[in-house]
Structure 1
Amino acid sequence: MPLPLPAFHDESRVGELFLERAARVTDEARRYAVEHQVRPAREDRLRIAAFGIDTQVAFCHPEASLFVPGAVEDSQRTLRWLYANLNRITGLVFSLDTHRVFQVFHPAWWRDAEGRPPPPLTPITVADLRAGKWRATRFHEDSVAYCERLESTGRYVLTVWPFHALLGGLSHALLPAMMEAGLFHAVARDTPTHIVQKGEEALTENYSVFSPEVMEVSGRKVGQFDQALFEHLMTFDRVYVFGQAKSHCVLSTLMDLKKRIEETDPSRMGRIHILEDAMSPVPAPPLDPLPPGLDFPRVAQEGIRLLQEAGMKVVRTTDPIDG
């Protein structure tokens, strides 16, 4: 039977900003564990991880600069699922997209011939750079080399995003309702929440939680695969994935997972469960014609299809956790 929602949780406030109520939440978690006979996570025979990718204010709050339409409803469904299955979910893992003002995908990095920064969602192509349309405000040659390496992967062209998830700012934090769920789970199940940061390297985008889009620029290492996180996730029998955005950070993370599982032990592929109703894509920019690589909803759907064909499971938050 699904467990009930805790008394402190108000679904109508999931998209709001508020200070986490740590004392109230953890006090209720202790009472809840006793009342509903919730056992410590270390006693689980079937170990299940809930892996939340960038469930931050930056992407999940309607007034944030990079709000993903649908993220509030995704978060509501996710939290219902987390609380209903509290006694089954062994561990929570959250990633935090973490940025600073001067990074290659932020407006402060680029200027046009008149000295103006690009507006958000501007694609910056190698052709643009060779034509002199844009120039980096710092490390110009390295920035060109980055764009060349990025386009050669065939996955994305550089997109200028609005300032978001800035370290020290409110948009960097987990959505408060998600933060409270982490507190509640940690105390009710007597296990710490695992939190990882990604995205601080200036010269590369870092959609995937595991690795940046480019790992080397002009002979300089700018990132590496997070083997420790991969090994942590592989200690679980199942990993349920949710978060934002379906077309970017979620998809890139899942693609990295797919590649590393194929390289190590393909039998693990079925451990990954994609909660398809707990994630949404970035809308496509208003370009005509729209380059296929910028049709983000299409990119997301095609990516999920490939992951399912590879052996990952696509499920919904309303599906029961069996086994």
Structure 2
Amino acid sequence: MFLPLPGFLDIHRVGELYLERVAEVSAEAFRYAAENRVRPAREDPIRVAAFGIDVQVGFCLPGAPLFVPGAVDDTARALLWLYTNMAHITELVFSLDTHRVFQIFHPAWWKDAEGRPPEPMTVITAKDVRSGRWRPTRHPQESLSYCEQLEASGRYVLNIWPYHSLLGGMSHALVPAMYEASLFHALVRDTPTRFDLKGENPLTESYSVMSPEVKEVKGQRVGEFNQGLMDHLMTFDRVYVFGQASSHCVLSTLRDLQQYLERTDPSKLSRIHILEDAMSPVPAPPLSPLPAALDFPRLAKEALESFRASGMRVVRTTDGVGE
């Protein structure tokens, strides 16, 4: 059954930054559960996870450091889907991109011959590092090795991002309207929300929630596959994926899920449901010619088709859970 929307929800405020209304949301949750006879999540005959990737202020609100165009509408659609299908969604799982100032993809890590940091969206190649065009401000050997390994993977090249998702800052937080949904779901379904942090190691990027882009640099272990989260997700009969951005963190997470399941149990690929209208790509940088690795909308589109071909389900928020 589709549930009614709660009274506190104002879908027009999804793109706003405000303090979450804990008292109002929690008070309505208990009334809502009783009036709509919503059962506790532990009684679900079919276990469904809603897996939100980086639905954070820094990516989803206008004016934020890495706002993804389209993210406000994506979040609004995801929220309407979550609320109306709440009786069938067993658990909410969210990743939180989590960074500090000095990380290999932030401007403070690099300087040019005049000592100036790179502008956001600057591409730094291993060739640039070897030639001295861009010089690391710390860990020089590891930084070069990282660039070489990242390029060798064929997935990305090092792109300098604006400072974003800084731990302790507002851009790190879940979008307020989505946080209210997580609180409401926890109380209505009597089950906690799961949060997984990613991206804290300064020597690697972690687009994927499951695994960093590079796991070892100059003999130093800088990350590993998140087996605990993988095992947890596979306790559900269906996992619905949404969030930002379809060209980066969502894409990389889905790729890791795909590759893991293809190795271990391909029959479980059909458990993954991709909410294609609740995610958007990062725009391509204004470069001419545009390197293929930086054509982010194209990468997202091609990846979606490869996921569909692998056996994952591509669905929309207008579809009911299980349809």
**TM-score scaled by structure 1?**
0.99
1:111-260 equivalence runs, <5 A: 111-260=111-260
Q: Which moved further from structure 2: 292-301 or 121-130?
A: 121-130
The residue number in structure 2 matching 1:35 is 35
Alpha-carbon deviations, 1:13-61, whole Å to 9, x = none? 0011111111210110110001111100000001100000000000001
SS at match of 1:116: coil
Counterpart amino acid of 2:206? N
What is the CA-CA distance between 1:129 and the residue it aligns to?
1.2
SS at match of 1:164: coil
Give, in whole Å, the separation in 2 of the partners of 1:41 and 1:176: 23
Give, in whole Å, the separation in 2 of the partners of 1:170 and 1:320: 33
Counterpart amino acid of 2:240? Y
SS at match of 1:197: strand
Give, in whole Å, the separation in 1 of the partners of 2:191 and 2:84: 18
Alpha-carbon deviations, 1:93-152, whole Å to 9, x = none? 000000000000000000000111111111100111122110000001110000001111
What is the CA-CA distance between 1:267 and the residue it aligns to?
0.6
Alpha-carbon deviations, 1:219-253, whole Å to 9, x = none? 00000000000011000000000000000000000
Alpha-carbon deviations, 1:149-182, whole Å to 9, x = none? 1111000000000000000000000000000000
2:314 aligned with 1:314: yes
SS at match of 1:87: helix
**What percentage of aligned pairs have identical amino acids?**
67
Counterpart amino acid of 1:42? R
What is the CA-CA distance between 1:11 and the residue it aligns to?
0.5
Runs of 4+ in 1 over 6 A off after TM superposition: none
The residue number in structure 2 matching 1:17 is 17
- Let me know the Cα RMSD of the aligned residues: 0.7
Give, in whole Å, the separation in 1 of the partners of 2:261 and 2:23: 40
Alpha-carbon deviations, 1:173-217, whole Å to 9, x = none? 000000000000000000000001000000000000011000000
Instruction: Give the aligned length.
Output: 323
Q: Which moved further from structure 2: 313-322 or 248-257?
A: 313-322
Give, in whole Å, the separation in 1 of the partners of 2:322 and 2:220: 47
SS at match of 1:298: helix
Counterpart amino acid of 1:172? H
1:57-136 equivalence runs, <5 A: 57-136=57-136
Counterpart amino acid of 2:234? M
SS at match of 2:87: coil
The residue number in structure 1 matching 2:279 is 279
What is the CA-CA distance between 1:322 and the residue it aligns to?
3.3
Counterpart amino acid of 1:96? L
SS at match of 1:201: coil
**TM-score scaled by structure 2?**
0.99
Counterpart amino acid of 2:185? H
SS at match of 2:86: coil
Give, in whole Å, the separation in 1 of the partners of 2:295 and 2:248: 11
Give, in whole Å, the separation in 2 of the partners of 1:64 and 1:192: 28
